[in-house]
Structure 1
């Protein structure tokens, strides 16, 4: 018998031939109060009916030691990672979760002396930004979100050089250093006062968190790494956030529910880091502009904006539904909920537009 004092028996992905649907699948924690906004152009005022119906402006964004207990553990253990704790052992995860300090919410605030609007740019790494000359426009926003291998040096004219919020997993923050080294990538963005947001996608992320929060070496695959050294001297627990499983599941369920979830491959499919970053911005900003995200003409561009020479094709990884995301960005743009940067010149994105 499972009680509030007992962790429920571990559920295994292999027990399900497709995404299991619980009667509380679409029930999420919500935080109050909602950040007030006086911004007339806020996306919260959207009249798009489908968006208004799906959007939860005060969805719980962040996981921390004060909002996890055994009852919550048992609820979240019904969902696969990164949407819950399925297959995880209570002791293995709670060792790190109980270290996560309550962050200083909200993540962002209006700039002093402004009109009350929080204007954000979310910058992906797609080749459409190669030669775009969008750097000044991107940096003119109140806040700039980036993720993964955000190579900036030498590309400032096209992608800007400011970063306010950097979204990552333990895998992306470690592997980007050697995957993109040949493009000049030497560290994560490290602007003074930058906020780091982590997506807890697998057990290795909790291994990483334990080392990071204790100031020690990580556990598991990170037993030889010191997590704090990966933040280029800007790690500060008051500016470090971990996305909540409810927020991640809500993004999938209400906006990016792939048909692949109805197949035997259901457990590996999740939205991209860029998608989670963009939806984080939608819940913390009044206006959101997306740059370097997939557009209808993606085949015209490099895989990454920082590539040169032989044109590479866009790489599709099996655990993401890129076409679903592409269509969602276009839909949100057409509904005036985001502004999606799309090329209007006839160039291929491999050289500066005339």
Structure 2
């Protein structure tokens, strides 16, 4: 560069600096006008969309009765629901690129501090096409109706058993005691959802109430929630029909939970992406910031959101309502027990969500006024 050109370039520096400062000022003005939470949300959505990419061409066709049509007509709901996010993970969802995206995210939103080989081995066992979906529609215009049954005390004396059984599919969770409560909670079970921790805790805590085994039937499908390594290890052992060989549950025999000869198509596992998506969109509680290693949506919430992303019409029974304090914690409690809130779940936020979705006619929530504030057997 000649001396003359150098001098000319230097003279232009103040002008360039002013341009840079102007652009920066406009950037700050823009940023101050936009809420940081919405910026974060947009980044999450962009990541979500980039992940989906070309993996799924379009949403599945649903019948006219489906609540998805209600969602599409509501601007706010349409922004929250994304039916392209896969609900389940199986053999074909485990790729090197997927590992790169999830291996730095802690459970249940990813595979941080977990073994690539262990995750890959477990998911390779979910090879059957039925492991990738909850059910297959018999006809494109079939209206699939699902009931999700929580264990709330509101069901005590409800007489909702027949209504629950009338649904095509019935989801149950954790300490799902049926014997002796058939009139209130029904007898039908299509899906049983759990983490290994919630399953074992339920067996220990509610054994005397009558929960001495998880629902067991060749027609029942088991939905694992991957809260940690132990869920993957137990799932692999259950499919292979062998004891758990390592980790927290070493020596456990999955047959004591799922029977001696379960079929591979009976097992499902929620996708970490789905859990991350429903947490970010619907249940991003302040507890997530305060207790990031502890908080996650409850088992019941995850099953209800699973149903809302797969079924056409969804009814929720035994979930928290505004007057929860009028009922016992569980429908099978021998004496009234108050619902206790812990830091691992935000039950009040979940209750507000169910109330909102009920009012928007996305789902139907069973509610009632208590007639017996101190239920006893």
Question: Normalising to structure 2: TM-score of the pair?
Answer: 0.81
Quote how far apart the aligned CAs of 1:192 are.
3.9
Q: Distance in 1 between matches of 2:298 and 2:260?
A: 27
Q: Distance in 1 between matches of 2:376 and 2:203?
A: 26
Of the three residues 38, 41, 60, the one matched with 1:35 is 60
Of the three residues 239, 246, 262, the one matched with 2:273 is 246
SS of aligned partner of 1:288 = strand
Asked if the contact 1:174/1:230 (under 8 Å) is kept, the reply is no
Matched residues, number: 328
5+ unaligned residues in a row in structure 2: which ranges?
A: 1-39
Moved more, 164-173 or 327-336: 164-173
SS of aligned partner of 2:309 = helix
Quote how far apart the aligned CAs of 1:319 are.
0.8
Pick the structure with more helix per residue: 2
Q: Distance in 2 between matches of 1:139 and 1:242?
A: 24
Quote how far apart the aligned CAs of 1:259 are.
1.6
Quote how far apart the aligned CAs of 1:217 are.
1.1
SS of aligned partner of 2:288 = helix
The aligned counterpart of 2:304 is 278
Q: Is 1:78 the equivalent of 2:104?
A: yes
SS of aligned partner of 1:186 = coil
SS of aligned partner of 2:248 = helix
Quote how far apart the aligned CAs of 1:100 are.
2.7
Quote how far apart the aligned CAs of 1:101 are.
2.0
Asked if the contact 2:287/2:343 (under 8 Å) is kept, the reply is no
The aligned counterpart of 2:229 is 203
The aligned counterpart of 2:289 is 262
Q: Is 1:340 the equivalent of 2:368?
A: no
1:59-78 to structure 2, matched below 5 A, reads: 59-78=85-104
Quote how far apart the aligned CAs of 1:115 are.
6.1
The aligned counterpart of 1:298 is 324
Moved more, 224-233 or 86-95: 86-95
Greater RCO, CA 8 A, separation 6+: 1
Q: Distance in 2 between matches of 1:119 and 1:234?
A: 29
The aligned counterpart of 1:8 is none
Quote how far apart the aligned CAs of 1:23 are.
8.4
Quote how far apart the aligned CAs of 1:239 are.
2.4
Q: Distance in 2 between matches of 1:190 and 1:48?
A: 40
Q: Distance in 1 between matches of 2:210 and 2:253?
A: 22
